Structure 1
């Protein structure tokens, strides 16, 4: 097996931490935001859903342009600018006194669209033979961050409230800028020989890329929609109040990480990544149906554990697959479109999920999630008989 060099490993770890610090602030809001529907002036379930998802809308609008700009101007300037905008939006959300101000702050947060430049920078600083492991490390870091954020969100909310969480998010963005400055200089991005139209033509004519874009859209739409219901469902099933739910999240998320780790190792070998994708999508649907429709603590806990296993597996594997399928001349643009789909899914999951919750209740959200998952499962069949040509060391 070809090993990552020390420089590759250090660069990947730094970029993973930068990604993680931003996602930590984003995800810490998820387990508590739905509980503020009765506390924020003017808030309704639909507007809370919009606040949860509007971040994804502005991200979706700007991910592709930021990916293209990173191909032309370089990755680090675009990433630093995006983190600065993210910090500004966090402070706007922290000091808003109404649901409108919160929505505006979340929208500004999303304008710091750095997901695609970070992923593209990973491809710049790693060799193709180890890139799957580098992308998997990014994905695992996101999974760990998600776990930590869901655990810490209710605890921080009990002590510093929603305003404190957003302020902490701004501080984490500044720390991310500092970490990025520690990244050793790398080979500059080569000038783009293709025009923007040619790049877009390359990345929009590949069916496999579209399948991955649809899959990540589905995954994050389902995540945000389910978290409009899950916090209150946990309280109802377990009897924990809001500042105690970490006692549920801690064992559940640790168990999910223990289970997903060997699956990711298997996926890195041969053709297993492609084979396991539809299984993970199917598992996502089964577990959502289970935890939305049970009041039995044991079954509910198992279902939530397996839901996080499926989510973390897909979150780790999908960007790695994009880096394999995308033309090398347009990796930044392809990852920009991928990130655009990811955050558009967040917006639709929040906005649609909030509206459905207000009109039809938790069962309506459950049905909506299952419909989204069925679309993702159909899309992922694109890989059923296609070998991605994975190179393994």
Structure 2
């Protein structure tokens, strides 16, 4: 597609070209100019909340008719409170330090050539995501603050909501220094439009997929554009033999029930047999109290009434609802091995009063975030003090963990000389 003549260019390619042109203009803006634009967008989104909710209701009705489950509907649904939250999120992004222009290091060569390593925008970000309309706002805010343009491709189930949000954002940008073309939304539900975005290396600098495993896999395996991979969250909580029972249950309940449909929620509980012998009644009582369905190994099925025998799919499943897999182990090493097999490199936690066990777990478990005596629910840009996030990277190159503003930049070497030649 990118090699076609001007008359043959597709709608998607034309949008990408507009975004690339706009990215140049955005990269030249001052921090104040970008912040003013973000604050105006935030105001317009809040002022137009009724329009957004009307569009969202259309999407929710369609999703219900299509038979989507409650977890999916929760991710799709907006309320006045959620609109206020993402509007406030833009204000928080405006308050964050602008990474563009930061000098990461500098030195002078023997010949007097001055060298600076400077943060600069990535350019054009392609964002491919599923049900959550708040991603439209969060991703746009972070992209613009970090000096980038963005091409958005949301899921078809949120089409009306996303179109309305982007319409409001673009109308707001018309009254700011940021060109409205810096935000592009691909409204097509045709799969070919998404496939086209995968291969636009001429115009798109990086792709960020955010959603379920199938979406992320499709992007990673098919894209020729560089991908910042976000991952699904099969998050584990390991209760060690030296875990404090009260602490363990409080953390388990928070990690599983606070918001089950998000990627940093607990999906698999691993329990040391010695701890289980002493505290099995407490565990059963806690699970029953919070109506958490259980899939477990043979030992768990024999102990917990109503639990089902887990299979391979259960150990790998991201339930996104009040359901959990429980595995019993006889050692810390066995717990780490289970996570190695079934983990998604997102967030993993250990509950123990043994500092050596905690240290070993945190060093050996391969994940973007590891916790000792704390809930996995903290793997979030806002919760960890990064401000809003564009996603949680589970890969190891360029960015890992919650991706805030610095993750949407790259570096440029800038050299100042006085006639030096080599």
Larger radius of gyration: 2
Q: Which has the higher strand share?
A: 2
Structure having the higher helix fraction is 1
Q: Which has the higher contact order (CA 8 A, sep 6+)?
A: 1
TM-score norm. by structure 1 comes to 0.28
